[in-house]
Amino acid sequence: MSTLLKNATIIDATSPYHNQKKDILISDGKLEKIADSIQNKDTYTVIELENLHVSCGWFDTSVSLGEPGFEERETIKHGLQVAAKSGFTSIAVNSNTNPVIDSKSDVEFLISKAFNSATKLYPIAALTKNSDGLEISEMYDMQQSGAIAFGDYNKPIENDNLMKIALLYAQNFDGLVLSFPKNNAIAGDGIANEGINSTKLGLKGNPALAEHIQISRDLFLLEYTGGKLHIPTISTTKSVNLIKEAKKKGLKVTCSVAAHHLVLTDDELHAFDSNFKTNPPLRTKEDLKALQKGVETGVIDIITSDHNPIDIEHKKVEFSEAKDGVIGLESAFGAVNSVLDLADFIDCFTTKPKAIFKIENHSIKEGNFADITLFNPETEVIFASKDILSTSKNSAFINKRLKGKVYGIFANNQLIIN
Note whether 133 and 152 are within 8 A (CB): yes
The Cα 146–Cα 178 span in angstroms is 16
- Apex CA 345: angle with CA 123 and CA 210, to 5°? 65
Give yes or no: 341 in active site: no
In sequence order, which ranges of 226-279 are alpha helices (DSSP H)?
237-248, 259-263
- CA distances 353 to 57, 256, 300, Å, are 11, 9, 11
Q: At what angle do helices 237-248 and 208-225 cross, to 10 degrees?
A: 10
Return the number of other C-beta atoms located less than 10 Å from residue 65's C-beta. Answer: 31
Q: Which amino acid is located at 237 in the chain?
A: T
The Cα 157–Cα 127 span in angstroms is 9
End-to-end CA distance of the chain: 20
- Give kind and range of the element (H or E) at residue 224: helix 208-225
Nearest to 130 by CA among 160, 156, 95: 95
- Dump strand ranges (E) for 176-323: 177-178, 192-193, 205-206, 229-231, 253-258, 302-304
- Secondary structure in 3-state letters for 59-86: EEEEECCCCCCCCCCCCHHHHHHHHHHC
The Cα 323–Cα 211 span in angstroms is 19
Given the residues 12, 287, 306, 347, the one annotated as active site: 306
In sequence order, which ranges of 12-159 are alpha helices (DSSP H)?
76-85, 104-113, 139-145
Q: Give the catalytic positions in this structure.
A: 306
